[in-house]
Structure 1
Amino acid sequence: MNQVNVVEQLTAERNQLAKQAVHVHKFGGSSLATAQCIERVVDIIRQHCQLNDLVVVSANGDTTDALFATYQLALERQDTLTSAIAQLYQAQVELIKSLLSAATAERMIDYLKSDIQQLTHWLTSTPEQYQADFLSFGELWSARLLSAILSERVCPSYYLDARDFLVINNDQQCVVDNGISLEQFNQVTQLGKLGVVTGYISKDSAGKTCTLGRNGSDYSATIMASLTGALNVTLWTDVDGIYSADPRVVPTARKLHRLPNGVAKELGRLGNPVLHAKTLQPLTDHSTHLHVASSFDYQNTGTEIGKFGQIAKQELSVTYLNDLLLAQSESFLGQQGEQAQHLFAAICSDTEAGYIVISQAQQKAVSQWLASHDTEVSFTPVAILATVGHKVVHHGDVKARFKRALKHEQVFAIANSPFQHSLIAILPQACSVELLNHVHHDMTKDARHIGLVVAGLGNIGERFLQLLPKQLTQIPLLENLHLVGLISSKKALINNDGIEVSQAFALFEQEAKNYDHQLLMSWLSNHPYDELIVVDITPSEAFSLLYGEFFKQGIHVIGANKWAASSSTEHYNDLLTTAQQHKSLWLGNTTVGAGLPINYAIQDLINSGDQIIEISGIFSGTLSWLFETYDNSVPFSQLLLDALAQGITEPDPREDLSGRDVQRKLLILARMAGFELSLTDIDCQNLVPEALQQLSTEEFLAQAAALDSYFADAYLQAADQGCCIRYIAKFSLQDNGQLCASVGLAVLTENDAFANLTPCDNVFQIRSHWYQDNPLLIRGPGAGRDVTAGGLHSDLVNICRQLVHRQQQVKLKGINTL
């Protein structure tokens, strides 16, 4: 078979495997440290894996450290070697017995005994010849144990010793021979089972065991993804993602939910504590996405690395490396400098100034290389502090901000990364924790990204979106707010790379997909933002029932929808408790009074220590218009039909005349004022006669004249007393501690605060300990697309103000793990 045919065959085999191994999962040593940790890993695999996926494992806990310490004892011919080997054996036996059935455990212990005999032989003869072989036992034991557990409890499983297929050039460069490795992998893989593969270890072309270096198991996982064409790789570790700085030393570091590939590679190159440069190398030519998540908090969304749009490219982070050397020489000028930069993979360089920055371990190699050029060199201890982001070397504003952040520091130079994704400050002293925190604050402040989802694309939803572009440009708090979702009753458009607001409706028409609530929750619960806000402008009770699920996911809600806030007392209290537990915010200023600040006024009084004893007023713009306009000069039914034609009433005017909407609004305000009551506690006068209540809308409108005599009589009786009729809502706290609440038609004197309004106005009157004799009045338009959309924007700014300084808790093993 010629070489072209071999390549074609391997490609076909790889494509076939790509359809089978859709995901590679890697678990580090801390994730597998104890029986409890392994149980957690088994749960993760049960929830996230399918047959033909691959699981890559490190050695359990500190097994590799224990193996290396035992190896050192063998080199030194210490008497304690036998005891150390016994401890290795006993630690594995305890794990095996605690996790497997007796029969399987016995078989696994027999394998272990054979391994112990082999390693004892090596250690007591010529240990220096077998260092890599000896260290490989940690991964071998881990893979064999996990595979046995999965076979017993979850699904058919097998384990693979990576040395049976993975071939690299040497254990310094660790370059994979993809052709041979893939061919041998295809020979040992077992379809229809879940494969568990040893990380960290491989072999060279001569068959000698090699290790892959620091964080070698991460590298193993991405190698496996490259070989199989897997769609995703997840690195399960002890931190829940990649942060804008090392969260162990920068408390304000924030999770970077999505990182472009190039930025991630640069972070790995420049000292990120989770990412390492080699890890990403195998994915260079693939569309595979890499995920970093915590096995100790696996319900929490981690960080995804891949190809993303503009929003993800806006992220900035700060990293540092100490214990470096600045090497200066004439040989680092011009073309020779470029050669040196490439040869030594320098942290940074300047071919005009004649320097490169390298690790201390490279000093000898650099000196030897320069000796052949017969030039002098000077080495100066330095550190680097870098701002990393997508092509930041081309962002003048970022570079200016970086320089300002360092203006009081001694800096040798600020260099551009050769990969364009970082600005690197070379420091003549170690980077201190204080400096790192200071620069991180200056570079990433106000950088929290907030996703916005708008549900309800009708009249008010359309106006809300029309106002949004101007709001985004003129309100600084909305600087990092991104429209990412549009939802109607049947279709949804979710785009985590952002939806262009000016084209929102056109894009929705072109790209929206049908959804059910389960699919919608799946989309929203996996969002890549620091915060997500759902603006509910729907009239849907079914959509309001999702609020509890939103809150459990930490999603915030702005609701013009009245259903949730006026639901049963039990459900309403459950929503408040769930929102509080998960730190979700729930604002609903437009549920009552459109854009009028009645909710804000109530909250301010309560938060300031006042106690509200009564709220009353006219809460319906429709009923306000009807009774301010009605003067008995035309029949009430004619006025009602005119209002319907003008769009003042609901399509079925009985929705307004029933008083149910006003009843719900009064309940919402009473609850906001701190009182616990339900709809059944509020007397409600329905202005529609029983005979008309069960008719179809068309039948009701045809018989609307049946309303006329009632309203004519009510008007005339009030007029005889010099009064008027209005539909009033009121609740009050009585002297005996009882609550009295009702909505209905009332007769008012002409000088009453509720008697003379502009038609469609709402008016709210608040009596409290502070406002008793002269109650607080709030009056204005209680309906309309502009004022309602404006009220929603008011809530949006309010929520963003509360979120701007919020920090997510960092999940670190040993600090705050589950």
Structure 2
Amino acid sequence: MRVLKFGGTSVANAENIKKVVQILQQHSQSKIIVVISALGGVTDQLLKAASLAAAKDETYKTILTELEKRHLETAKALLPVTQQSSCLSKIKQQFNELEELCEGLFRLNELSRRTRDRIVSFGELLSSHILADYYTASNQSGEWLDSRQLIRTNSHFGNAIVDFAATNQLIREQVLQSTSPLFIAPGFVAGNKEGQTTTLGRGGSDYTAAIFAAALDAEALEIWTDVTGMMTADPRWVNSAKNIANISYQEAMELSHFGAKVIYPPTIQPVMAKQIPVWVKNTFAPDEYGTLIQNTPSVEGEIIRGISSMNNVALLSLEGSGMVGIPGFSKRLFEALAEEQINVILITQSSSEHAICVAINAVDVEKARHAVDLTFEAEIKSGKVDPLKVELDLSIIAVVGDQMKSHPGISGKMFGVLGRNGINVRAIAQGSSERNISAVISLSDVKKAVNVLHEAFFEFEYKQLNVCIIGVGNVGGKLIDQLAHQQKYLQQHLKLNIRLAGLANSRKMVVKEDGISIGNWKEELEQGEKMDISHFVNTIVSKNLPNTVFVDVTANADVAGIYDQLLAKSISVVACNKIACSSPYQYYQQLKSLSREYNALFLFETNVGAGLPVIGTLNDLMRSGDQINKIQAVLSGTLNFVFNNYDGTRSFSQVVRQAQAEGYTEPDPRLDLGGTDVMRKIMILAREAGEQLEMEDISNTYFLPASCFEGSVEDFYQEMEKQEPHFKALYDAAAAKGCKLKFVASYENGKAAVGLQHIPPASDFYHLYGKDNIVLFYTQRYPEQPLVVKGAGAGADVTASGVFADIIRAARV
């Protein structure tokens, strides 16, 4: 004996019903009970028609007409013309009853639970009759069973409780005494002892099948649906969700209770008591293995079985000092909810007994509020208990696995992952079995939470990083090229998949949840929206993508000004832009604080030395307990390039033009030549060393004449030509001493300075060529011989590579 249940999608139309019969024909070797749901979507339509009728809205007639037409057309498509009469007559008769019931509702302007059950029962009655007639027309022998006469329940309409002793006897008498090889029964419906129709709750067809299986000690229960078994997460949200081949009864119950819609939660209990295995199979891929639910032994390494979620949850909090040490508060709370037929999904209570929180379905909030406030009316008036607090727009996310009990650190990993992605946890519950860890989170975060948890517990192949880049000019373009070039390497060696989720320049912006083609990014950006920095940031935040990194490859103050918004949403920031870290100390410190508070990285290695590990080295020194005594550095690749190439044979202006043409300068070279850029860099290093420094605290010995700072960039070049004798004199003065000109930055004893210096041959700075930078760290551990970081400190490729390295750092947290 086997019991097979087919869901609404499996019998949604004639074509699908034919697939069902093909599956049944493959089970002809044993006796079969077939339990059928209503045609897909019919139950919702029946409920809608009933509600409209009770509201005196005559459009209910249109719904009934459309439903009748659908059922008649389904029957005609399945049955030969000569065998249609009986089935069509049954359908007509059923809809005549429906019309009479709805007309009564229209007149009474009222819809009771009992009448609602009667109306929604028609969906399963109709579909099961159609299937039974089609099966018989296919020259198969079968018998239709009326579940209302066999499954005995109480009179709790809408979610009736089964009397198993009476039910088991009725089912056995009906089925075991019959010689029919196959029985077809409507799911979801049952009846009380007065013969009135009841229902078993939405999804109750699964439960019906389990009731039949347990009553008959079936060898197996098969749940046929439109997916290939249970999955590690909802595949609509998680593209990499995996099929669960084997799962225990307890794990299946936990996952289904917390939102896994493949199987109705009460289904497991009757078959688990009889140790009847349950198969979850796909009607449209019948040869696929699916999921087998039974007392399955654990598999090495499979600690977590699945991640599930339940949406539209409300959190009720009862708080008050008058609750402490007084027994009975919890009892009264749960009694008040139970009297209103409100199901409690999750419970958590503080150890101080000052508060108790319960999660319920959001649709029951007003009933719950009224019932609880009424129950505790006296305590609320006296101030011993606060009025019930209600939080809406919440979800429950659950991590489920039998083996969690013997593996420490699962909850730490779960909450660590959620925290790093800015997902706030409002309440936590873990049963004594340690099979389930549940957390209440914001509804807006649930998709993100499922993805990051699935990645943490199931994605042993890749971690998905969503990167949003603003600034796609010289450096930004090189960065995207490097990302494209390294995609395969990152996947193979770092198990990292970087997705380009957002792009922006000064004109256009685009953000795509499923990613921007890295080979076609220019075209996609050009087709994007008009750029607006606030809109760009708000869009990124609203997408709420997991593992998001914002990358700023601009020199724009407005962009630097929005880092705080991103960090506060747990979005890591990688900044090539130096403005934020060289802004007033208060903002710099705020960004650092937000980074720590919201578990988002704030990385800006390329602020000093392009791709050189200058800031990283300084941070390592500080973290390991060293102390910075002095920093001396040549920090401008631009200025170093200029003074290495200027010897008086070409004008100073021509050398600067060359530096700009080769991409070594800012768009306005005066930021480099005036020392502003170097001032920013030494200030950033001083701040990272622990000094509270502002730009005005840094002395700057300018070598550019004041007239060079007037007018446009082209005016600047023309003025430099006029001032060529000045620059030649600077060079000659240094050469006369056997020295070179270098623009040096220094920090010592809380003071910082920048300026042009004569560098003798014995100096570490003398043999510094091209665009190289050099930083000397004098510390307690390196008091005489400094720790030296030296290398190319300018150029699009090396700067892009430094940004790239910061992105990888952000990914590996």
Give the TM-score taking structure 2 as reference length: 0.52
Paired residues for 1:109-120 under 5 Å = none
Matched, 1:668 2:684: yes
Q: Is the 8 A contact 1:391 1:422 kept in 2?
A: no
Q: In structure 2, do the counterparts of structure 1 residues 648 and 389 end up closer, same or farther at CA, with 3 Å as the change threshold?
A: same
Task: Deviation per CA, 1:569-622: give whole Å up to 9, x if none.
Answer: 122122222332222211001111111111111111111111111222111111
Aligned counterparts of 1:469 and 1:211: Cα–Cα separation in 2: 60
Counterpart residue number, 1:304: none
Q: In structure 2, do the counterparts of structure 1 residues 784 and 394 end up closer, same or farther at CA, with 3 Å as the change threshold?
A: closer
Residue identity opposite 2:784 in structure 1:
D
Task: Deviation per CA, 1:99-135: give whole Å up to 9, x if none.
Answer: xxxxxxxxxxxxxxxxxxxxxxxxxxxxxxxxxxxxx
Q: Is the 8 A contact 2:247 2:296 kept in 1?
A: no
Residue identity opposite 2:690 in structure 1:
G
Aligned counterparts of 2:238 and 2:580: Cα–Cα separation in 1: 49
Residue identity opposite 1:428 in structure 2:
N
Counterpart residue number, 1:640: 656
Cα deviation for residue 463 of structure 1 reads 1.1
Matched, 1:685 2:701: yes
Q: 1:463 aligns with which of 456, 473, 478?
A: 478
Task: Deviation per CA, 1:438-493: give whole Å up to 9, x if none.
Answer: 89775355776432111001011111111113333222456343211111123210
Aligned counterparts of 1:798 and 1:641: Cα–Cα separation in 2: 36
Q: Is the 8 A contact 1:540 1:563 kept in 2?
A: yes
Q: Is the 8 A contact 2:739 2:758 kept in 1?
A: yes
Q: Is the 8 A contact 2:621 2:627 kept in 1?
A: yes
Matched, 1:428 2:295: yes
Q: In structure 2, do the counterparts of structure 1 residues 472 and 342 end up closer, same or farther at CA, with 3 Å as the change threshold?
A: farther
Matched, 1:769 2:639: no
User: 1:643 is paired with a residue of what secondary structure?
Assistant: helix
Paired residues for 1:619-768 under 5 Å = 619-733=635-749, 739-768=750-779
Q: In structure 2, do the counterparts of structure 1 residues 210 and 793 end up closer, same or farther at CA, with 3 Å as the change threshold?
A: farther
Matched, 1:481 2:492: no
Matched, 1:451 2:466: yes
Gaps of 5+ in 1: 1-167, 190-202, 220-277, 279-324, 346-356, 371-375, 734-738, 803-818
Matched, 1:472 2:483: no
Task: Deviation per CA, 1:293-336: give whole Å up to 9, x if none.
Answer: xxxxxxxxxxxxxxxxxxxxxxxxxxxxxxxx9x99xx9xxxx9
Q: In structure 2, do the counterparts of structure 1 residues 210 and 495 end up closer, same or farther at CA, with 3 Å as the change threshold?
A: farther
Q: 1:209 aligns with which of 107, 111, 127?
A: 111
Aligned counterparts of 1:213 and 1:615: Cα–Cα separation in 2: 84
Residue identity opposite 2:787 in structure 1:
L
Task: Deviation per CA, 1:23-80: give whole Å up to 9, x if none.
Answer: xxxxxxxxxxxxxxxxxxxxxxxxxxxxxxxxxxxxxxxxxxxxxxxxxxxxxxxxxx
Q: In structure 2, do the counterparts of structure 1 residues 523 and 621 end up closer, same or farther at CA, with 3 Å as the change threshold?
A: same
Q: Is the 8 A contact 2:778 2:786 kept in 1?
A: yes
Q: In structure 2, do the counterparts of structure 1 residues 428 and 776 end up closer, same or farther at CA, with 3 Å as the change threshold?
A: same
Counterpart residue number, 1:778: 789
Task: Deviation per CA, 1:227-246: give whole Å up to 9, x if none.
Answer: xxxxxxxxxxxxxxxxxxxx
Task: Deviation per CA, 1:660-682: give whole Å up to 9, x if none.
Answer: 00110111111112211111111
Give the TM-score taking structure 1 as reference length: 0.51
Q: 2:585 aligns with which of 569, 586, 602?
A: 569
Counterpart residue number, 2:46: 176
Residue identity opposite 2:402 in structure 1:
E
Task: Deviation per CA, 1:782-807: give whole Å up to 9, x if none.
Answer: 111211111111001101111xxxxx
User: 1:699 is paired with a residue of what secondary structure?
Assistant: helix
Aligned counterparts of 2:752 and 2:281: Cα–Cα separation in 1: 69
Counterpart residue number, 1:795: 806
Residue identity opposite 1:471 in structure 2:
Q
Aligned counterparts of 1:724 and 1:528: Cα–Cα separation in 2: 53
Task: Deviation per CA, 1:413-451: give whole Å up to 9, x if none.
Answer: 875444779942322269985336889775355776432
Q: Is the 8 A contact 2:221 2:278 kept in 1?
A: no
Q: 2:507 aligns with which of 490, 498, 509?
A: 490
Asked which structure has the greater RCO (Cα within 8 Å, sep 6+), the reply is: 1
Aligned length: 480
Q: Is the 8 A contact 1:463 1:789 kept in 2?
A: yes
Residue identity opposite 2:46 in structure 1:
V
Alignment root-mean-square deviation, CA? 4.7
Q: Is the 8 A contact 2:230 2:280 kept in 1?
A: no
Paired residues for 1:257-656 under 5 Å = 362-365=209-212, 377-378=218-219, 386-390=231-235, 398=242, 416-418=281-283, 423-428=290-295, 433-435=401-403, 443-444=458-459, 449-476=464-491, 477=494, 479-510=496-527, 512-656=528-672
Q: Is the 8 A contact 1:386 1:425 kept in 2?
A: no
User: 1:777 is paired with a residue of what secondary structure?
Assistant: strand
Residue identity opposite 2:498 in structure 1:
L
Q: Is the 8 A contact 2:214 2:276 kept in 1?
A: no
User: 2:769 is paired with a residue of what secondary structure?
Assistant: coil
Q: In structure 2, do the counterparts of structure 1 residues 574 and 646 end up closer, same or farther at CA, with 3 Å as the change threshold?
A: closer
Counterpart residue number, 1:22: none
Q: Is the 8 A contact 1:617 1:762 kept in 2?
A: yes
Q: In structure 2, do the counterparts of structure 1 residues 411 and 663 end up closer, same or farther at CA, with 3 Å as the change threshold?
A: farther
Aligned counterparts of 2:786 and 2:628: Cα–Cα separation in 1: 11
Q: In structure 2, do the counterparts of structure 1 residues 741 and 757 end up closer, same or farther at CA, with 3 Å as the change threshold?
A: same
User: 1:525 is paired with a residue of what secondary structure?
Assistant: helix
Q: Is the 8 A contact 1:617 1:728 kept in 2?
A: yes
User: 2:776 is paired with a residue of what secondary structure?
Assistant: strand
Kindly name which structure, 1 or 2, has the bigger radius of gyration based on alpha carbons.
2
Aligned counterparts of 1:209 and 1:185: Cα–Cα separation in 2: 9
Q: In structure 2, do the counterparts of structure 1 residues 575 and 630 end up closer, same or farther at CA, with 3 Å as the change threshold?
A: same
Q: Is the 8 A contact 1:688 1:707 kept in 2?
A: no
Q: In structure 2, do the counterparts of structure 1 residues 428 and 632 end up closer, same or farther at CA, with 3 Å as the change threshold?
A: same
User: 1:563 is paired with a residue of what secondary structure?
Assistant: coil
Q: In structure 2, do the counterparts of structure 1 residues 447 and 688 end up closer, same or farther at CA, with 3 Å as the change threshold?
A: same
Identity %: 27
Paired residues for 1:20-31 under 5 Å = none
Residue identity opposite 2:293 in structure 1:
I
Residue identity opposite 2:794 in structure 1:
A
Q: In structure 2, do the counterparts of structure 1 residues 429 and 776 end up closer, same or farther at CA, with 3 Å as the change threshold?
A: closer
Q: In structure 2, do the counterparts of structure 1 residues 344 and 338 end up closer, same or farther at CA, with 3 Å as the change threshold?
A: farther
Aligned counterparts of 1:423 and 1:467: Cα–Cα separation in 2: 42
Q: Is the 8 A contact 1:496 1:528 kept in 2?
A: no
Residue identity opposite 1:540 in structure 2:
N
